[in-house]
Every structure is written in structure tokens, then in C-alpha cells.
Chain A
Amino acid sequence: MNANDKPDAATLTPRQALWLDLMPFYIREAWLLDERKFRAWLDLFTDDVLYFMPRRKNVPRREAQRELTPLGDLAILEEDKRYLAMRVDRLDTGMAWAEDPPSRTRHLIGNLEAEPLDNGEVRARTAFLVYRSHLETDHQLLSGYREDVLRRVDGGWKVARRTIVLDANVLLDKNLSVFL
């Protein structure tokens, strides 16, 4: 095997190494979601996770700090691990009608930027385009970004906090029953 096939660790900055470490994590997460392996997906989150999707308002440009609703206001999602687990368990009942028959999704995750935090955790931002097709002709493109705090647990990464920001004011989809 040619030595050039393998990136030389000595030439990577710590940031680059982190990027290379995280990108496969996000790609794997996307495949788990699109292949409906939701229990394995749930394992990617710490037990103390906060899974948060604020509302996004139309505000004047000079009041941009008001665009996203803060924690404590009504959010679209503000879930802990237990609520996420309920959502996953629900799908197995055969009567979770929003997802039975299930949506067909495609999660495209990119634009990764990652920075280490002082406490050993990592902050990572990614952009997503998620396509959802449901029943016969219902379909929706969900666009937005995630801001994650990741923690090393047993040698692997887990998401300890996820903030999901949709690029929408009035959601155009009939419901938000897929995971982002």
C-alpha cells in the first residue's frame, strides 16, 4: 500500500483531525436515520441530552438577537432523552400514524465546522437538507442547521446537546414527524 493513501497525521492540524473524526460520525448518523435504525440513532445521544428546536421569527435585521426564541419560551421541540425514547418507542406500536406507513427520508449533512471547548467537549455546526416523502405524493424539503455539543463517551462521540434551527417561519410540512 502506498504511504500516500493515508493522510500523514503529522501534517494535520488538531482542527483538521477533529473534522476528520466527526464527519464520519455525522454520515453514520444520517444513514441510521434514513435506514430507520432509530434505536441505534438514539444511542448517539448522552443520557442528559437536550434536543432543542427553537421557533424562528421575522424580526427587523437590527433586532437579529430576537430571531430565535430562547430556551424557556415555547419551542418546536425541547426534549430530553426520555421524550426522545418515547418518540422512538412509539414507532414500534404500529399505530404511530404520522410515520406508519413511514416517511422516506434523505439526510444530507455538510458544512461541518468544529471547535474544541475547554471542558473537553466539542462544538460542531452542520448544515442539513432533509428530504421527506410520505404516503403517495406528500413531500417536503427541510433546510437548516444543527449546533451540537459532543462528548467523548467510551471512546466514541455522543451528542450532549443539539440545537436545530430550521430555515422556515411557517413550516410548510403537514407535520414534523421525522428526526433532524
Chain B
Amino acid sequence: MGTTRKHAVIDPATGKIDRGIFSDRAIYDEEMEKIFGRAWLMIGHESLVPGPDDYFHTYMGEDPVILTRDGQGRLHALLNMCRHRGNRVVRCDDGNAKRFMCAYHGWTYRNDGSLEHVPGKSEAYYDALDFASLGLIEAHVETYAGLIFATWAKDAPGLEAYLGDARWYLDTVFNRRDGGMQALGPTKWLEPANWKTMVDNCSDNYHVPTSHLSSAAVQSRFLGRPRLSHDDQFRSPNKHVFVNGHAITFRDADDNQPRYMHGVSTETMRLFEDYHRATTPEVERRLGTLRARRVQLGNHSIFPNGILGFRLALPRGPLKTEFWHFVLLERDAPEELKRVIRIGSQANNGAAGMFEQDDVDNWRQVTEASTSRFARRHKQDLSMGVGHAGPHPDYPGLVSERYISENNQRLFYMRWEQFMNADSWAGIPLDPIRARFDGTATMRG
């Protein structure tokens, strides 16, 4: 095995990390190939293409991709690049169409990607065009509980292995109900920050009482939400856990409380509690008692660019990221509860979200500090909690002792190194699945 570490950007013992990876164009280009060209990328949700011939326009990294459901109900992820000269064949965000006609010369593709019609196929091409080899480029697609993932890599492991034991935790949000979830969105906006900073921030609960104090304070005042302080965070029994690049934080408490989320207020708490109680038997059947009663997924990222649930950080150059904010709702939840969660989500997250708007300048300046050759000599410090994580008797993955930790962030950059230094998927290690998946829930929902 090649043991040359071309990229050695983090020292695991000190947490010092090279800032160049946030601004260097050559590194960024290599990321597009070795990470976004290989990894399973979250690209959509089944509810965005519910019926035959529905499509939703999305991205795999920088590449525009048409997510389609063909007439037979099968999903396809098709590179939005006409095989003639390369024009996009879809320019809308979503819709319903059996075929896509390129607006340049009229080549027309079926929604399964196959090339159906070429103007002048006899008159101009002398019937010599090989239609079979000129379909839209198709990525490999798999789903997990309604979430749609795609990869360009022919040698990629299956999605189940890719998610590994992270799914044990992800199930507690994405796989709770028999009826599954529905996605609304996205709102889209451009953030002047490197994509990795947004991703590693998902495990950065350290920033919350400083970055988001103003939003938390008014919501305590107006909505009766719990107060937020560094002390509360430091004492929290929550933990970090890391599996295969996926950075999870989770609440570990045996009190059968509903998951705390945006939308909770003094008046709506009852709705959340009633729903939690009413659905607990179903969730226990689906996930087993331990996960139904004790484990609650918190902030998390799915490698490489899935952020806090089904939200995407789409790279647009080293210094820019297009952010897509969706909200996921349990399909069979009461309408009033869905409304409250939707409004809480959009009031706090998204371009105008009270919480999210206060993140951007931090990320932007972290990115910009990396562009200076002088500043770059001084590394980022991700040393918090070094040496205070390991295997846990109850919980799969690499578990931190504390909630406020930089363990997941260090591991994220080590995972980044593994992808960047490997010649192929064969060189990228995967943790074996060890967790006991009690209950009836599966990859398919």
C-alpha cells in the first residue's frame, strides 16, 4: 500500500491544522476529484420526486445533476451535460417531464438518461451516431430512509457500509416513523466560506453560547426556551461520536423527553410531548428500546457535505459555498406540529435564520485568514479534548467523553486526509458495522 502521505494537514496529537486547505486552489481541485468524485453524496429526498417522471435539479459537488424518477418509478442521477457539446439539458429547479431536450441543437434524452432523438441523425450524421454510448452520464444511486445518495465511483462500497454505524444514530431522526419523512425546500444562498468549515462546525457546540447568544436569549424571553450558557454546555451529558467521516453529536439521557428542536416554545411544548408519547411504541418497535428512549441525534454532518440533517454545503471554489437549507418533517405528524417545526426551522436556519445568519462572518473570516501567506504560518488550533475519546461500552463509533470537544473536527480532517491520500476506494478504510440494529427499521425505511 502506498504509505506516502501527500497531504499531512493535521497533527492528531496537538490538533494543529494547516490553514492552506481552506484556500488553496490546487487542493480544492483535488478535493473535487478525490472526495466529491468518490464519496456517496446526499443529493435529494424521495419526496422531492414523488411521482413518475418527476425531476429535481441538484448538485454533486460542483456538477449539476438531474435527479429523476422514470416512468417505472426508478431513481436516476444524471449529469446535466448534453453529450454533444455539454450544454445543460435542464434549466429548471424541478418539474415533471418524460424527456429533456437540449436547447442548443435539440438532442433529446429520456428521463432515464438514454438518448432518444438527434436532429439530422440520418441527414447530417449518416446514421453513424452511437446512441447507446451517448446517454447522459449516470451516477450510482442508493437511498437510506428516503434520503437519496449518489456516487460517481464505480468501486465505492454500498451506502449501508458507507454510513456504517453512523446509521445507528441517524435512524433516531430519519427513520423513526413507518410513514417516513418529507422534505421541503431548499432555500439557496452563497456563503463566502470554504465548505469544510461549515461541515466541521456541525460538531462545534462550543460556538453556540457565543455565536448564538442573542438568538437564544430572545427565544428564552419570548418563547420560554431553555437558557443557553457555556456552563450548561460544559455539563451536558451529550457526546461526540465519529464513524467513517460522519460526525455525530447525540443526547444520551434516559428521560424519554422529546427531541429539542427549533419550534419548541412554552405553548408548543405540549404538542411535542404528546407526539413523542404517542409515537414512542412505534419508535420502540422500529429502533429498539435503547435508541427509542435514550439516544437522540443532535447536530451532525454526513461526510463530506451534509449538514444538520438534509442540508447541503455545495462547494463553489475554495472561498465560496452554496448552501441549501431544507426542512424534513415526519409525514404522519399532526399538521400543526409540522407547521410549528417548519416555522421554527425557517426562523432560525436558512439565509435569514436568526441562528444561521450569525455564523457566516465567523466562517468567512476563518476562510479569509487562510489566504494570507503570513497568517497561514500560524496553524488553527483544534486541540480541545485531545486524548479524551475512545470506544464506549454502549455506543458504537469513536465516542468523546464530553459534548464540548473538538474530537469530531480532528477526525473529520483525518478522514479528509484518508480520501485525499488514497489512490482508489481500496485505500480508504471503513469501520465494520458493529452496532446492534434492534427493531424493524432498515436502510429502506
**A53-88 CB contact bits vs B (8 Å, 1 = yes)?**
101011110010000000011111111001101110
Q: Does B277 contact A (CB under 8 A)?
A: no
Least Cβ–Cβ distance between B88 and chain A, in angstroms: 11
Contact A171 B186 (CB under 8 A): no
Q: Does A96 contact B (CB under 8 A)?
A: yes
**B171-193 CB contact bits vs A (8 Å, 1 = yes)?**
00000000000001111111110
> Which are the 7 A-B pairs with shortest beta-carbon distances?
A74-B184, A171-B189, A98-B357, A176-B352, A175-B357, A93-B214, A96-B214
Least Cβ–Cβ distance between A59 and chain B, in angstroms: 5
Contact B343 A174 (CB under 8 A): no
Which residue of chain B lies nearest to A53 when distances are taken between CB atoms in the complex? B352
Q: Does A21 contact B (CB under 8 A)?
A: no
Whether A173 contacts B218 in the complex (CB less than 8 A), given A58-B92, A74-B184, comes out as no
Considering only residues 83-106 of chain A, those with a C-beta below 8 Å from chain B are: 83, 85-87, 89-91, 93-98
Given A57-B94, A77-B347; 20 other pairs, CB 8 A cutoff: A60-B92, A72-B339, A74-B184, A74-B187, A74-B325, A74-B327, A76-B352, A78-B346, A82-B222, A85-B222, A86-B219, A89-B222, A97-B358, A97-B361, A170-B189, A171-B188, A171-B189, A171-B190, A174-B189, A174-B191
Least Cβ–Cβ distance between A170 and chain B, in angstroms: 4
Contact B214 A76 (CB under 8 A): no
What is the CA–CA distance of A171 and B351 in the complex, to the nearest angstrom? Answer: 8
Contacts of B185 in A (CB 8 A): 55, 74
Which residue of chain A lies nearest to B97 when distances are taken between CB atoms in the complex? A60
Contacts of A119 in B (CB 8 A): none
What is the CA–CA distance of A93 and B91 in the complex, to the nearest angstrom? Answer: 44
Contacts of A75 in B (CB 8 A): 346
Contact A86 B222 (CB under 8 A): yes
What is the CA–CA distance of A83 and B327 in the complex, to the nearest angstrom? Answer: 19
Contact B347 A79 (CB under 8 A): yes
Least Cβ–Cβ distance between A167 and chain B, in angstroms: 14
Contact A86 B326 (CB under 8 A): no
The 11 sampled A-B contact pairs (Cβ below 8 Å) are: A74-B326, A74-B327, A74-B345, A78-B347, A85-B222, A86-B219, A97-B214, A97-B362, A135-B361, A138-B192, A175-B189
Whether A175 contacts B356 in the complex (CB less than 8 A), given A76-B351, A90-B215, A95-B213, comes out as yes
Q: Does A153 contact B (CB under 8 A)?
A: no
Least Cβ–Cβ distance between B347 and chain A, in angstroms: 5
Whether A86 contacts B218 in the complex (CB less than 8 A), given A74-B327, A96-B358, A171-B190, comes out as yes
Contact B351 A173 (CB under 8 A): yes
Q: Does B366 contact A (CB under 8 A)?
A: no
B354's partner among A55, A63, A82, A90 (CB-CB below 8 A) is A90
What is the CA–CA distance of A17 and B168 in the complex, to the nearest angstrom? Answer: 66
Least Cβ–Cβ distance between A111 and chain B, in angstroms: 24
Considering only residues 6-60 of chain A, those with a C-beta below 8 Å from chain B are: 53, 55, 57-60
Give the A interface residue count (CB, 8 A).
40
| Count: A-B pairs, CB below 8 Å | 124
Q: Does B350 contact A (CB under 8 A)?
A: yes
Contact A176 B91 (CB under 8 A): no
Q: Does A172 contact B (CB under 8 A)?
A: yes
Contact B352 A77 (CB under 8 A): yes
Least Cβ–Cβ distance between A71 and chain B, in angstroms: 10
Q: Does B342 contact A (CB under 8 A)?
A: yes
Least Cβ–Cβ distance between A78 and chain B, in angstroms: 6
Q: Does B95 contact A (CB under 8 A)?
A: yes
Contacts of B218 in A (CB 8 A): 86-87, 89-90, 93
What is the CA–CA distance of A86 and B327 in the complex, to the nearest angstrom? Answer: 22
Contact A97 B354 (CB under 8 A): no
Contacts of A77 in B (CB 8 A): 346-347, 352
Contact A74 B352 (CB under 8 A): no
What is the CA–CA distance of A78 and B325 in the complex, to the nearest angstrom? Answer: 15
Whether A97 contacts B211 in the complex (CB less than 8 A), given A89-B218, A176-B351, comes out as yes
Q: Does A2 contact B (CB under 8 A)?
A: no
Contact A98 B358 (CB under 8 A): yes
Contact A95 B214 (CB under 8 A): yes
